């Protein structure tokens, strides 16, 4: 049957070439499209995590839901000692965040003022990279304030100007000070740039009575894909008063947006595959209906209906395998090339910055597992396309088929 199928493929060249091309194009398009979609989502996630949010963050239970000084971490150093023993953690740092009123000579704005360790932040966030004017924070920077570009616009101040701060300290007492604007950053995230400012913890902890205290501890991982596994280890090490959550919880709105985008992407692809499926099936049906007498003759000389099914199966098997063996490596090479050399669309970050896109690059995701299941989908669709032609052929009795016109 296999040799006969091979001869039929060579004999019916038009149908064979059409099936081969349709399978090749659909497989190649599917492999490249999914890699671009996954790459865009990964890029969006990585960009968002680079800005400020960690892959994992540790909180005292109640802080994320209620907030307030009653839910601060009060033993930062003991938790950090536990983190040192857990594999997969690249870096970590504690942050003390509070909200207060920042005022210039004529303007005021409510904003987040966060006490951070400047050196540790270099290894975790993109705060220093986002510098656009002035200087980044220093450990001995004193009252230097590092503020977002849009927040600076609200206050209408420039580097070197004084900004007064009024807020509540960690012991619920009144805290006030005069900061000096030393640096301005711009991440591309409008909300973050319009409401965030930072100051070195050495100075801020004294003002806020926040020594060995933190709003949370943020963690960077060696491999973001191991977030769940590492988080499970961290949760085991923590006391019951604390919780450890991954970026999937911290950035749930972004996760949902990516899932919705993926669903619409697959729906679009499904419409494409429906067209491809019916085109292949129609060509298979036309080919089978034109060969009814041939199949009838084969049945009359002793071949069974199962042999006819095997014949059509081998024909689609040979054509699909040849097309996929060509499309798979080509698609894989395209994905790998653009994963190393991302497509750059100038200005896209400005358009989509509210969704966390702060880069003009759209890298592809080169993943052999993804490529494999992409190929498997095309393969299965091709085999499904011969079910109706096979049933049509088997509906004829051998003698009846030999007289078919």
Show pLDDT as tens, one digit a residue, over the chain (405 residues): 778 778 878 877 777 888 888 888 888 888 888 888 888 777 777 666 667 788 899 999 989 888 888 999 999 999 999 999 899 999 999 999 999 999 998 899 999 999 999 999 988 888 888 888 999 999 888 999 999 999 999 999 999 999 999 998 988 888 999 999 999 998 767 788 899 999 999 999 999 999 999 999 999 988 888 889 999 999 999 988 999 999 888 877 767 777 777 777 778 777 777 777 777 777 777 777 777 777 777 777 777 777 777 877 888 888 889 988 999 899 999 989 988 887 777 666 555 555 545 566 777 888 888 888 888 888 888 888 888 877 877 777 777 767 665
pLDDT at 19: 81
pLDDT at 354: 52
pLDDT at 360: 66
What residues pair up with 144 in beta bridges, in sequence order?
Answer: 180
Question: What is the end-to-end Cα distance of the chain in Å, rounded?
Answer: 25
Question: Which contacts qualify for 226-233: CB closer than 8 Å, 24 or more apart?
Answer: 226/88, 227/55, 227/56, 229/88, 230/56, 230/86, 230/87, 230/88, 230/89, 231/56, 233/86, 233/87, 233/88
The beta strand positions in 104-161, using DSSP E, are 108-116, 131-134, 144-148
pLDDT at 298: 76
**3-class secondary-structure state, position 138:** coil
Annotate 58-94 with b (16+ C-beta within 10 A) or e (fewer).
Answer: bbbeebbeeeebebbbeebeebeeebeeeebbebbbb
pLDDT at 315: 83
pLDDT at 404: 63
């Amino acid at each position: 049957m296999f040799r006969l199928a091979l001869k039929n493929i060579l004999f019916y060249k038009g149908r064979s070439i059409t099936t081969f091309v349709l399978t090749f194009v659909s497989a190649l398009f599917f492999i490249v499209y999914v890699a671009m979609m996954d790459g865009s989502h990964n890029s969006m996630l990585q960009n968002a995590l680079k800005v400020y949010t960690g892959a994992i963050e540790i909180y005292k239970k109640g802080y994320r839901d209620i907030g307030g000084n009653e839910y601060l971490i009060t033993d930062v150093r003991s938790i950090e000692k536990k983190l040192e023993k857990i594999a997969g953690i690249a870096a970590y740092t504690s942050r003390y965040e509070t909200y207060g009123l920042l005022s210039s000579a004529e303007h005021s704005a409510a904003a987040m003022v966060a006490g951070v360790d400047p050196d540790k932040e270099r290894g975790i966030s993109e705060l220093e990279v986002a510098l656009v004017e002035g200087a980044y924070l220093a450990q001995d920077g004193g009252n230097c304030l590092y503020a977002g570009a849009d927040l600076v616009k609200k206050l209408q101040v420039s580097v070197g100007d004084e900004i007064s701060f009024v807020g509540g300290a960690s012991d619920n007492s009144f805290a006030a000070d005069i900061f000096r604007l030393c640096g301005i950053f711009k991440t591309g995230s409008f909300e973050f740039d319009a409401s965030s400012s930072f100051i070195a913890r050495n100075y801020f902890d004294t003002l806020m009575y926040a020594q060995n205290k933190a709003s949370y501890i943020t963690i960077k991982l060696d491999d973001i894909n191991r977030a769940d596994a590492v988080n499970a280890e961290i949760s085991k090490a923590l006391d019951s008063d604390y919780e450890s959550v991954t970026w999937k919880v911290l950035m749930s709105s972004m996760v949902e947006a990516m899932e919705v985008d993926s669903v619409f992407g697959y729906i679009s692809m499904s419409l494409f595959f429906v067209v491809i499926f019916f085109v292949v099936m129609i060509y298979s049906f036309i080919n089978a209906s034109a060969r009814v007498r041939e199949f009838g003759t084969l049945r009359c000389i002793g071949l069974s209906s199962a042999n006819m099914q095997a014949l059509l199966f081998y024909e689609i098997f040979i054509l699909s395998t040849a097309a996929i063996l060509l499309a798979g490596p080509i698609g894989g090479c395209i994905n790998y090339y653009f994963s190393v050399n991302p497509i750059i669309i100038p200005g896209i970050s400005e358009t989509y910055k509210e969704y966390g896109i702060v880069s003009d690059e759209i890298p592809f995701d080169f993943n052999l597992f993804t490529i494999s299941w992409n190929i498997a989908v095309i393969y299965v669709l091709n085999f499904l396309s011969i079910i109706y032609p096979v049933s049509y052929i088997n509906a004829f009795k051998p003698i009846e088929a030999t007289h078919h016109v």
